[in-house]
């Protein structure tokens, strides 16, 4: 009986160590919710302030005008997106630090570094590609690219953290592909992909792992 208990204990320890050393589990659901809210706020700012209550039609307007005339708008939209990105990343890091501290685990481990590298390769590729699209006046597929590259980044990083991140990535890719089929609806898909999906994901994760 004693050897039996010891074996169960051993197997439990092995499982725990294997999981902790190969997956980054300090990702907080709250960062998802926050990123979603920020993304929606960013989209509303774009619609009401930058695109003049929607009277500037995102896609057609840019295509029918010379790049020079719309340069100010382009910079404003990019600045808007950059603020959304920066806030989301900052809060994701903040919530993860906090969760790691609460669970008494290290934040910078070999696996969190691997997670970051795997996330950044598709993400930076996408970012650079999108900049190229913007300046070469291929505006219509920008939001699609945001969603697809972000989805690929999540799929890639999903191996090193919760499985749900992988599935969130798949959903982002699908949203991106549908977005490509419906030109002119970019802002709506931005809100679905970066807003709604993040908030749902965040709430699910928070209820599942952090309650």
Partner 1 sequence: MKDLISGINKVFENRVRLGIMSVLMVNDSYDFNNLKKTLNVTDGNLASHLKALEEKGMIKVNKRFIGRKPNTNYSVTIKGIADFKQHLKALENLIKDQ
The residues of the shown chain that bind partner 1, judged by CB under 8 A, are 1, 3-4, 7-8, 10-11, 13-14, 17-18, 20-22, 106, 109-111
Minimum Å distance from CB 115 to partner 1?
13
Q: 52 vs 106, which CB is nearer to partner 1?
A: 106
Q: Could you write out the DSSP letters of every residue in 175-202?
A: HHHHHHHSTT-HHHHHIIIIIIHHHHHH
Helix-strand-coil percent breakdown of the chain, rounded to 5?
80, 0, 20
Region of 66 (left: φ > 0; alpha: ψ -120 to 50; beta: rest) is beta
Minimum Å distance from CB 49 to partner 1?
47
Spatial CB neighbours of 73, under 8 Å, sequence gap ≥ 6:
50, 51, 56, 62
Minimum Å distance from CB 107 to partner 1?
11
Q: 2 vs 53, which CB is nearer to partner 1?
A: 2
Q: 13 vs 125, which CB is nearer to partner 1?
A: 13
Minimum Å distance from CB 124 to partner 1?
23
């Amino acid at each position: 009986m004693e050897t039996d208990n010891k074996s169960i204990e051993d197997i439990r320890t092995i499982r725990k160590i294997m999981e902790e050393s190969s997956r980054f589990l300090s990702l907080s659901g709250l960062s998802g919710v926050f990123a979603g809210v920020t993304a929606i706020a960013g989209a509303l700012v774009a619609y009401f302030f930058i695109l003049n209550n929607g009277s500037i039609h995102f896609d057609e307007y840019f295509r029918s005008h010379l790049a020079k005339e719309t340069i100010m708008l382009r910079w404003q939209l990019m600045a808007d997106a950059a603020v959304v990105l920066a806030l989301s990343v900052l809060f994701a890091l903040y919530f993860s630090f906090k969760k790691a501290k609460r669970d008494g685990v290290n934040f910078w481990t070999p696996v969190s570094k691997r997670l970051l590298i795997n996330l950044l390769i598709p993400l930076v590729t996408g970012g650079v590609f999108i900049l190229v699209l913007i300046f070469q006046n291929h505006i219509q597929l920008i939001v699609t690219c945001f969603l697809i590259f972000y989805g690929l980044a999540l799929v890639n990083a999903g191996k090193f953290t919760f499985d749900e991140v992988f599935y969130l990535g798949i959903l982002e890719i699908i949203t991106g592909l549908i977005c490509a089929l419906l030109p002119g609806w970019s802002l709506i898909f931005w809100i679905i992909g970066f807003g709604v999906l993040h908030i749902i994901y965040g709430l699910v994760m928070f209820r599942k792992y952090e309650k």
